[in-house]
Amino acid sequence: MKKLFFFLLFPLLMFGNMAKPWMDGSQHSVLYGVGNASVKSEIINIRLVKEPVDEIYFAKYSIKYRIYSPQKQKLPLLFIAINLNDEREVKVNGVSKNTELLNIEKKKYSFIQKDESGFFVKYDQSDKVPVNPNDLLYFSADLVEGENIIEVTYNADLEYNTYGFIKNYKLEYSLYPSKFWKSFGPIEVNLILDDGIEFKDSNLGSGKKERKIYQWKISPQNHENIVITVSENTSFISKILLFLDPFGIALITFVGMFLIHLKLIKRSSKKYILVLGIVLVPILFYVIYFLSFDLIDLSLGKKNTKHGYVFLYVVTYPLLLLIYWILMWLIYKRTKRSK
């Protein structure tokens, strides 16, 4: 009976709506395997590239497995490809392998089974992965005795937010299947960033950096998955404004206006100064709040970024007006008594 190897990718379908402030990205994994073959090492090269039309970044993966096989054998491999770009290639020992759609109605496959919940791929006695047969691509690998090289290249979507000043992107790569091999050697991860994007964080740590390339060397036994987050480049001024946020900018200005109003009240007991400040300060707080969005966009070189239902903040104006009126009236009365 032939030993079975599975290469499974789990990208999620991308969709977006008003209730969902992000777009899902691809989820994929290392080569699945059973039997007596071993993965000596894996190299994952990930380059983040901007799509020229929509200007959204995606990942170009180039993955190389160095596999030791104790004997010459022909093995079936499986690709679970949901919404993947057609530009993908698989090579086994330098020979390109054509992938084909599985047709389970015309042919039965030993690695695809069905139960009351639907179709699934079973790669050992206790673990199974639910699949949609329409998303399965199949190819076979001719392994020689000794060392074999399997290379896989494909494009994958990144998860990103659809609201906010800048886009943060997240990529995930599962290392879970590595435990099903006889042994799985070290993994080298190389992240290559194009201009316009910068590294933010990773569950692998900061890694080794050389210009726009980040490198990690890890053991799959110590990690269940790889998670890397990057974001659009921002200037020093933009970073400060983004840290403050429109609310922070408006709040700082509000405190300044309050101190000026307080100083004017202490200098003069005329009521029109009190009333004018009570009316203007809360209004100016909201004016500055909304203008801060344009200010941050200007610093980023963007126009009209999405920020959700920001207009709902306006409904808090009566509450702010009431609180500010009570506060300033109490201060005014106390100041008047002390004179």
On whether both 19 and 103 belong to a single domain, the answer is: yes
Q: How does DSSP assign 229-272, residue by residue?
A: EEEE---HHHHHHHHHHHHHHHHHHHHHHHHHHHHHHHH---HH
On whether both 202 and 240 belong to a single domain, the answer is: no
Task: Please say whether the beta carbons of 110 and 4 come within 8 A.
Answer: yes
At residue 259, the pLDDT reads 94
pTM over 0.85: no
Side-chain-side CA neighbours of residue 19 (13 Å) = 0
β-pairing, 168-174 with 26-33?
A: parallel
The helix/strand/coil state of 35 is coil
pLDDT in tens, the chain (339 residues): 333 333 333 332 233 334 467 777 665 666 666 567 788 999 999 999 998 888 889 999 898 999 998 888 877 666 665 555 667 788 999 998 877 666 666 566 666 777 777 777 665 556 666 667 666 667 778 889 999 999 988 888 888 888 888 999 998 887 876 776 778 899 999 999 988 899 999 999 888 988 889 999 988 888 888 999 999 989 999 999 999 999 999 999 999 999 999 999 888 878 888 899 999 999 999 999 989 999 999 998 888 777 766 666 667 888 888 999 999 888 888 877 665
At residue 7, the pLDDT reads 37
On whether both 24 and 133 belong to a single domain, the answer is: yes
At residue 315, the pLDDT reads 76
On whether both 325 and 246 belong to a single domain, the answer is: yes
On whether both 155 and 122 belong to a single domain, the answer is: yes
On whether both 218 and 249 belong to a single domain, the answer is: no
On whether both 226 and 249 belong to a single domain, the answer is: no
On whether both 20 and 161 belong to a single domain, the answer is: yes
52 Cα distance to chain centroid: 19
On whether both 103 and 163 belong to a single domain, the answer is: yes
At residue 306, the pLDDT reads 78
- One-letter amino acid at 307 equals H
- One-letter amino acid at 254 equals F
On whether both 18 and 148 belong to a single domain, the answer is: yes
At residue 18, the pLDDT reads 41
Q: How far apart are CA 265 and CA 336, in angstroms?
A: 9
Residue where a domain terminates, one of 186, 203, 232: 232
Question: What's 52's domain CATH number?
Answer: 2.60.40.3680
Which one, of 63, 68, 47, lies nearest residue 7 by Cα?
63
Range of the domain at 220: 5-232
At residue 186, the pLDDT reads 92
Number of structural domains (the chain) is: 2
Residue 11's region, left for phi above 0, alpha for psi from -120 to 50, else beta, is beta
On whether both 244 and 319 belong to a single domain, the answer is: yes
On whether both 223 and 282 belong to a single domain, the answer is: no
At residue 184, the pLDDT reads 86
Q: How far apart are CA 287 and CA 182, in angstroms?
A: 64
Stated as kind and residue range, the H or E segment containing 298 is helix 271-300
